[in-house]
Structure 1
Amino acid sequence: MTTALTLTDTAFRDVVAAAVRAPSLHNSQPWRFRNRDGAIEVRADPARRLPVADPTGWALRIACGAATLNARLALAAMGLAARVQLLPDPTDPDLLARLTPTAAWQTTPAEEALFAAVERRFSHREPFYPAPVPVHARVQIIDAAHAEGAWAEILNGPAEIEVISEIVRAADAALSADSVYQGELRAWTRSERDERDGVPASAGGPVPQADDLLPRRSYGGREPSPGGDFDPDPLVVVLGTATDAPIEQLQAGIALQRVLLTVTDAGLAASMLSQPIEDPTARDNLRLALGRTDVPQMVLRVGTGRTGYPTPRRDLTEVIDKA
């Protein structure tokens, strides 16, 4: 049996500080953490699951999976290897992951680069510059997903993008017409940058236009700048897993975060388009359009954009449970 290493309270807090930099739908931050029996527990916070946008808990598990990767990288940066167990206790459904430090570890250059990107990663909701994503970066994106047990398919070019665009538009239109959904979205839109959660209107990007290929959510109602057309030739990445079981959704979150950190380390930017995943019909249409029998878990747009900033996070005291 592998012996767990003792993690100090300070080290635990440092790990949690990295974990909470993960993305979450509407920046709802649906996680909690506990230092128990020599292991770090990543727990669901049911009170922060979005009841309208996320009735099944899919987005919650994606977010907590992403937080799990950040925690694993933080431990590696401390020189600690960790055994990661997903859904380790069937009697405790809110316990989504357990990370047990097991041995000293020589951090790899790849881990160092990914961990350094944790603080710099943010969802880029502005237009991208008209510069192509380099071929080597596309390969890195695919490899990052594969390294965490998921798949990534890169779509580029007018014909492929038009098909995906129609699916994203249909999903966005359905969600935009849902007054209850829009009410929940408004409830998570913030007006001030000192808020601890939600998406500040200033970080929400300009109002989507009718001719945008890939419509985004409108968090703030800001009008676009003249000439600031949105991505006429975007790079789209679809991330997926073999099944849609809860453990695979957690795995998808881990893979998603590795892709996002890889993109950040490459000097690129990304934002998530979850509308075609949230809408069951659109999700199935996306799967069929890709010619796959497995399950799409997220759509990303990737490109080069101006420097931005991460959305706010709650204080660590609000997300740490006592053992």
Structure 2
Amino acid sequence: MRQDTDATTGSGSPPDAAEIAQLLAAGAAAPSSHNTQPWRLRWHDGAVEVHGDPDRALAAADPDGRELRMACGAALANVRLTVRAQGRRAHVQLLPEPEEPWFFGRVRPGAALPPTGWEVELAAAIPRRHTDRHPFSGRPISAALREQLGRAAWRERCRLVLVDGSEQRRQLRELTAEAHRRQRADPAFVAEWERWIGHSDRVDDGLPHPRARHEPRPDDAWRLRDFAGTIAADERFPGEDPVEDEPTIAVVASYDDTRLAHVQAGQAMEQVLLTATARGLASSFVASPLEVATTRVQVRALLGGVLWPQMVLRLGRGRSVHPTPRRADTGD
């Protein structure tokens, strides 16, 4: 499937070595479950190719590879934005070779075309986007910004559903807690979790200690997976109790639940996250209710039964955080 930012083709000066390195680094900065970075990025025949890395698949948390495909979609979105920021058209093909199930897309730089100011802003947000597992301040997100976040998903043929109603939020919190309990009771999930999470010797992937903690705070509704223990005094917002974390909750959803839809949802997710970053918002993921099949079905029903939920996002005003580690061997 071709997804060009502009249908016009033409010749232009190809990227030099430094620009190619910038494209690959942008792709490698995408988010992924457990920070597994499950992609192989390479420059081949004048294009950046994004392949999935089966050795980094999560058999317990992501048995059908949906989140892996979303991560590769996010990497494609970053590469495409960086091509545009470099002043070239970006010609994108998703699932370009159906006989290669791990080949999710290529981005080919084309003729010269100045980027828009917004494309430059989004590309600049790529290295600043980090998953923030701290509590948020509780300051509301404006209606204008919520609309802008929704448009970011819409441009990628997806929807961003804001979970606003108190009853909807209550049900989603309960489903999140139920999914978390089921996963923590699954020995395969726990073993996989402990492979990737909390190891001081993981320097380029996973979530090293102390960035990850294994048990939730008993009074925390949304951050069940990653936060436990005490909140240091310097992590608190003046005049606010960060434990009472009531972030904006949004669901990236697609119209289908196919391999292509998962890649597109990953692109939409990254566009939303970069828009949030560019506008000063922090973000993190609430993955568990969509990783357990039964609770995912219930989340879909909660959204009306038409859209397929692909990722639950937690958005709000946070603190600056350090980036998760990145591996150097992302290429072939």
Query: TM-score, normalising length from structure 2?
Result: 0.90
Q: Does 1:57 align with 2:65?
A: yes
Quote how far apart the aligned CAs of 1:184 are.
0.9
Q: Does 1:200 align with 2:211?
A: no
Q: Which moved more, 1:203-212 or 1:106-115?
A: 203-212
Aligned counterpart in structure 1 of residue 101 of structure 2, from 93, 99, 108 = 93
Q: How does 1:57-76 map to 2 (within 5 A)?
A: 57-76=65-84
Q: Does 1:14 align with 2:22?
A: yes
Q: 1:34 touches 1:40 (CA, 8 Å); kept in 2?
A: yes
Summarize deviations over 1:8-65 as a string: whole Å, max 9, x none.
3332111011111100000000111122221111111111111211211111101000
Tell me which amino acid in the other structure corresponds to 1:145: A
Q: Which residue of 2 aligns with 1:283?
A: 296
Q: 1:168 touches 1:215 (CA, 8 Å); kept in 2?
A: no
Quote how far apart the aligned CAs of 1:105 are.
1.4
Q: Which residue of 1 aligns with 2:331?
A: 320
SS at match of 2:321: coil
Q: Among all aligned residue pairs of Structure 1 and Structure 2, give the percentage whose two residues are the same amino acid.
A: 37
Matched positions, count = 318
Aligned counterpart in structure 1 of residue 92 of structure 2, from 53, 75, 84 = 84
Quote how far apart the aligned CAs of 1:72 are.
0.5
Aligned counterpart in structure 2 of residue 139 of structure 1, from 147, 172, 185 = 147
Q: Does 1:119 align with 2:130?
A: no
Q: Does 1:25 align with 2:33?
A: yes
Q: 2:179 touches 2:289 (CA, 8 Å); kept in 1?
A: yes
Tell me which amino acid in the other structure corresponds to 1:101: P
RMSD over aligned Cα, in angstroms? 2.0
Q: How does 1:257-268 map to 2 (within 5 A)?
A: 257-268=270-281
Q: Does 1:311 align with 2:309?
A: no
SS at match of 1:223: coil
Q: 1:126 touches 1:205 (CA, 8 Å); kept in 2?
A: no
Gaps of 5+ in 2: 1-7
SS at match of 1:144: helix
Q: Does 1:241 align with 2:254?
A: yes
Q: Which residue of 1 aligns with 2:4?
A: none
Quote how far apart the aligned CAs of 1:94 are.
1.8
Gaps of 5+ in 1: none
Summarize the Cα distance change of 1:145–1:215 in structure 2 as closer, same or farther, 3 Å threshold: same
Partners of 2:160 and 2:131 lie apart in 1 by 18
Tell me which amino acid in the other structure corresponds to 1:291: G
Q: Which moved more, 1:23-32 or 1:183-192?
A: 183-192
Summarize deviations over 1:106-134 as a string: whole Å, max 9, x none.
11111111111111111111111121122
Quote how far apart the aligned CAs of 1:7 are.
3.2
Aligned counterpart in structure 1 of residue 266 of structure 2, from 248, 253, 270 = 253
Partners of 1:252 and 1:209 lie apart in 2 by 30
Q: Does 1:151 align with 2:159?
A: yes
Partners of 1:283 and 1:268 lie apart in 2 by 26
Summarize deviations over 1:59-118 as a string: whole Å, max 9, x none.
110100000010011111111111111000012222110111121111111111111111
Query: TM-score, normalising length from structure 1?
Result: 0.92
Partners of 2:71 and 2:24 lie apart in 1 by 14
Q: Which residue of 1 aligns with 2:220?
A: 212
Summarize deviations over 1:282-301 as a string: whole Å, max 9, x none.
11100111113120000011
Quote how far apart the aligned CAs of 1:205 are.
6.4
Partners of 1:239 and 1:261 lie apart in 2 by 14
Quote how far apart the aligned CAs of 1:4 are.
6.3
Quote how far apart the aligned CAs of 1:177 are.
1.1
SS at match of 2:284: strand
Aligned counterpart in structure 1 of residue 230 of structure 2, from 219, 223, 239 = 223
Partners of 2:152 and 2:144 lie apart in 1 by 12
Quote how far apart the aligned CAs of 1:216 are.
2.8
Q: Which residue of 2 aligns with 1:274?
A: 287
Summarize the Cα distance change of 1:14–1:287 in structure 2 as closer, same or farther, 3 Å threshold: same
Partners of 1:57 and 1:88 lie apart in 2 by 18
Q: Which residue of 1 aligns with 2:188?
A: 180
